[in-house]
């Protein structure tokens, strides 16, 4: 046959491939660009949403702070108004005090005057014009305390227009720490009459803080006009000791607020470093600033949660866009490659069509040759069948005559001493003739099986009789070599539905092989067993020389001979095991060989379960 022409891409295919590839690149750029623009617009919108949420949260936080600081400033003003009222009572009494009044008279009148004073007062003290402690609500006999050198006393003594002075007193923290409210005391003619001091706990300045949740790190701070913290409150410092003494002045702290004005700013705290949104208000009537600080993480918590949610959705959407873009681009290139392949296939189909026309003529010629070959094979098969049938008749007829005459000569030949050994010669002829007849029968059986013309004559029969007949056939040869033959049958009599003659032939072949390759004084066991599927297993186990796996494969082939130095009488034809295997296949079973070199061989014949007659079946 001529070789097929080489198929290559034509110029038209190459041109289409270049055009389609360029188009695919252009479409890919458009898809990727559109996806990128879509993702960019989405993230711009997400960023705008984040910024808007952040600004809204700050606005809401400032509104909340302004409301809180208004309430706290009002409460602090009321507290200071109460303190100022108490100090005014002291001023009224000291202003009306006659110059001749003794210290005891002054203390008695002051004690009487402030008896009804309530509020956040912890102690009210009065300092005489000479700086000595004159009166204390907590200490009836105050002792010789002198504050004439203190800055606050000097300031109130020298400044005729000094108002209330509010500052801290005592340690930065602890139960002794107080907030003091001081004022100048004057006589009727406005002469300096001393100093009045009201002391209160820092926590009494703002009681409303217990009713308001400022978050995890929210703070309330009271600072003087100079920006120094007088009291600071948070969850960790309920006694007002947070940041006491810290100066808040400096940007962005507003130091120019007018009375009653409120400002707002954001900064990292100088006390604990936390970033807070802070509102600060200057009290309208007192020189104090009050600050409310909310933790920025609390202020922006909702915005942050929204940002995380929107960011997650945006990230997932971006991934989805990327995946869809990838899938779309892959589909574009897949279709492009498919179109290129289809164009090339069309070119190839045209060339293939030409080849088909050539091959069609060749196939027609080949078909004619096959028809002729089939006819010749059928003729050869018929000739073989006729030859085998003719040879069967032609060979068996003289063999039967040879066997018969040799048997007659053996039986009637003279056996007197000195006579010729005619009987021995006749016996040898008889043995050879019978062996040749068995060989011819075996060859004919294998030929029929392989050609599919062999048939089985099946009937129900007891296996025990078959097994004993098989043992009888090889007993003489076994006794010659002192080989023990053992038959092991099941307790319940076994009946089989099979071709009795063929099955007997199988057993005789297996037993003959076992006797042939078993050394003297050996043992051969014929037994019956069942497997899990209730198939019957007929086993012939010997203690012979055994075989390797390779030798087993040779033994199962027709005319296969395993090289053996222990073969006794004859080498054999190598047809026994192949014939047994073919006969078992006709019965729907199989023949299995297992062997260990030097220790023996086990030949197992397996018949399907349906060939076993169960109790109650009819007799043979």
State pLDDT tens for residues 582-594.
888 888 888 888 8
For 478-506, what is the mean pLDDT? Answer: 87
- End-to-end CA, the chain: 64
For the segment 67-87, the average pLDDT, to the nearest whole number, is 89
Number of residues written out for the chain? 620
Give the residue, 391 or 60, on which the prediction is more confident. Answer: 60
* Percentage of the chain exceeding pLDDT 90: 14
Alpha-carbon distance of 292 to 276, in angstroms, equals 9
Average pLDDT over every residue of 327-349: 88
At 1, the pLDDT band (50, 70, 90 cuts) reads very low
Most confident region among 26-30, 96-100, 234-238, 373-377 by mean pLDDT: 26-30
Q: Tens digits of per-residue pLDDT, 505-528?
A: 888 888 888 888 888 889 999 999
Residues 6+ apart with CB under 8 A from 93: 109, 110, 113
Is residue 333 over pLDDT 80? Answer: yes
β 288-295/458-462 pair status:
unpaired
Is pLDDT above 90 for 43? yes
- Between β-strands 288-295 and 484-488, what pairing exists: parallel, antiparallel or unpaired? unpaired
Residue 359: pLDDT band with limits 50, 70, 90: confident
Among the listed ranges 192-206, 279-293, 414-428, which one has the minimum average pLDDT value? 414-428
pLDDT at 448: 64
- What band does 31 get if pLDDT is binned at 50, 70 and 90? very high
Task: Give the model confidence (pLDDT) of 443-471 as tens digits.
Answer: 666 666 666 666 778 889 998 888 888 88
Looking at residue 573, what is its pLDDT? 55
The 10s digit of each residue's pLDDT in 248-279 is: 888 788 888 899 899 998 888 888 888 889 99
CA distances 612 to 465, 589, 601, Å, are 15, 12, 26
More confident residue, 438 or 320: 320
Beta strands at 484-488 and 523-530: parallel, antiparallel or unpaired: parallel
110 vs 91: CA distance, rounded Å: 10
Helices (H), 96-181: 103-113, 151-158
Residue 51 near residue 43, CB atoms below 8 Å: no
More confident residue, 562 or 544: 544
The answer to whether residues 179 and 168 touch, using CB atoms and an 8 Å cutoff, is yes
pLDDT attached to residue 568: 40
CB 487 within 8 A of CB 526: yes
**Residue recorded with tokens 């062996």:** 435
* pLDDT interval class at 411 (50, 70, 90): confident
Strand order in the sheet with 458-462: 458-462, 495-499, 612-613
Whether the CB-CB separation of 562 and 525 falls below 8 Å is answered with: no
pTM: 0.49
Helix and strand numbers, DSSP H then E, in the chain: 10, 18
Yes or no: say if 546 and 522 are a contact pair by the CB < 8 Å rule.
Answer: no
Q: Give whole-number Cα distances, 472 to 84, 366, 399, 507, 576, in Å.
A: 140, 58, 25, 11, 18
- When pLDDT is cut at 50, 70 and 90, the band that residue 222 belongs to is very high
Average pLDDT, the chain: 81
pLDDT beyond 70 at 353: yes
Q: Which two tokens stand for residue 285?
A: 């009537």
Closest by CA to 220, choosing from 119, 295, 170, is 295
> What percent of the chain stands above pLDDT 70?
83
Structure confidence at residue 289 (pLDDT): 92
Window from 255-264, 400-409, 485-494, 565-574 with minimum mean pLDDT? 565-574
Please report which confidence band the pLDDT of residue 5 belongs to, taking 50, 70 and 90 as the band edges: very low
Rounded mean pLDDT of 534-561? 78
Is residue 122 very low, low, confident or very high in pLDDT (cuts 50, 70, 90)? confident
Nearest Cα residue to 181 out of 68, 251, 76, 331: 76
Average pLDDT over residues 268-297: 89
pLDDT at residue 322 greater than cutoff 70? yes
Between 286 and 562, name the one with better pLDDT. Answer: 286
pLDDT of 339: 87
pLDDT for 3 equals: 44
Give yes or no for residue 570 having a pLDDT over 50.
Answer: no
């Amino acid at each position: 046959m001529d070789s097929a022409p080489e198929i290559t891409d034509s110029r038209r295919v190459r041109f289409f491939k270049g055009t389609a590839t360029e188009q695919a690149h252009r479409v890919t750029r458009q898809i990727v660009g559109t996806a990128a623009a879509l993702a960019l617009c989405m993230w711009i919108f997400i960023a705008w949403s984040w910024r808007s949420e952040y600004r809204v949260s700050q606005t809401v936080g400032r509104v909340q702070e302004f409301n809180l600081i208004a309430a706290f400033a009002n409460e602090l003003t009321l507290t200071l108004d109460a303190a100022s009222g108490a100090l005014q009572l002291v001023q009224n009494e000291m202003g009306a005090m006659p110059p001749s009044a003794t210290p005891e008279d002054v203390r008695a009148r002051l004690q009487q005057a402030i008896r009804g004073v309530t509020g956040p007062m912890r102690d009210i003290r009065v300092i005489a014009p000479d700086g000595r402690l004159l009166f204390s609500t907590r200490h009836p006999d105050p002792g010789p305390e002198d504050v004439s050198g203190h800055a606050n006393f000097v300031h109130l003594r020298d400044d005729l227009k000094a108002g209330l002075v509010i500052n801290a007193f005592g340690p930065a923290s602890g139960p002794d720490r107080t907030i003091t409210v001081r004022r100048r005391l004057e006589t009727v003619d406005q002469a300096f009459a001393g100093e009045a001091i009201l002391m209160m706990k820092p926590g009494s300045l703002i009681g409303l803080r217990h009713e308001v949740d400022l978050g995890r790190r929210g703070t309330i701070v009271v600072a003087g006009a100079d920006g120094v913290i007088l009291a600071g409150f948070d969850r960790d410092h309920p006694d007002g000791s947070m940041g006491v003494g810290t100066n808040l002045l400096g940007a962005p702290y507003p130091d120019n607020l007018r009375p009653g004005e409120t400002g707002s700013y954001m900064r990292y705290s100088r006390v604990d470093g936390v970033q807070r949104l802070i509102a600060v208000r200057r009290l309208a009537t007192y020189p104090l600033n009050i600050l409310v600080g909310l933790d920025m993480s609390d202020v922006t918590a909702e915005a942050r949660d929204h940002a995380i949610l929107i960011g997650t959705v945006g990230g997932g959407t971006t991934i989805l866009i990327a995946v869809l873009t990838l899938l779309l681009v892959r589909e574009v290139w897949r279709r492009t490659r498919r179109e290129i392949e289809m164009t090339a296939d069309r070119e190839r189909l045209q060339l293939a069509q030409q080849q088909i026309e050539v091959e069609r003529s060749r196939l027609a010629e080949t078909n004619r040759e096959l028809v002729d070959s089939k006819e010749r094979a059928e003729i050869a098969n018929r000739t073989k069948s006729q030859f085998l049938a003719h040879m069967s008749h032609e060979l068996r007829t003289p063999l039967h005559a040879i066997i018969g005459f040799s048997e007659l000569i053996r039986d009637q030949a003279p056996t007197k001493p000195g006579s010729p050994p005619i009987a021995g010669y006749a016996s040898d002829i008889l043995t050879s003739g019978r062996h040749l007849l068995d060989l011819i029968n075996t060859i004919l059986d294998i030929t029929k099986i392989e050609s599919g013309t062999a048939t089985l004559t099946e009937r129900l029969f007891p296996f025990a009789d078959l097994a004993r007949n098989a043992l009888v056939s090889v007993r003489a040869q076994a006794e010659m070599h002192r080989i023990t033959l053992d038959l092991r049958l099941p307790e319940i009599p076994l009946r089989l539905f099979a071709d009795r003659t063929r099955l007997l032939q199988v057993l005789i072949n297996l037993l003959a092989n076992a006797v042939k390759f078993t050394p003297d004084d050996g043992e051969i066991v014929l037994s019956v067993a069942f497997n899990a599927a209730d198939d019957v297993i007929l086993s012939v186990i010997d203690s012979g020389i055994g075989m390797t796996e390779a030798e087993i494969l040779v033994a199962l082939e027709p005319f296969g001979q395993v090289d053996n130095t222990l073969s006794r009488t004859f080498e054999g034809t190598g047809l026994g095991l192949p014939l047994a295997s073919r006969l078992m296949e006709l019965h729907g079973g199989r023949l299995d060989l297992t062997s260990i070199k030097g220790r023996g061989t086990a030949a197992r014949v397996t018949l399907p379960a349906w060939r076993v007659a169960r109790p109650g079946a009819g007799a043979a």
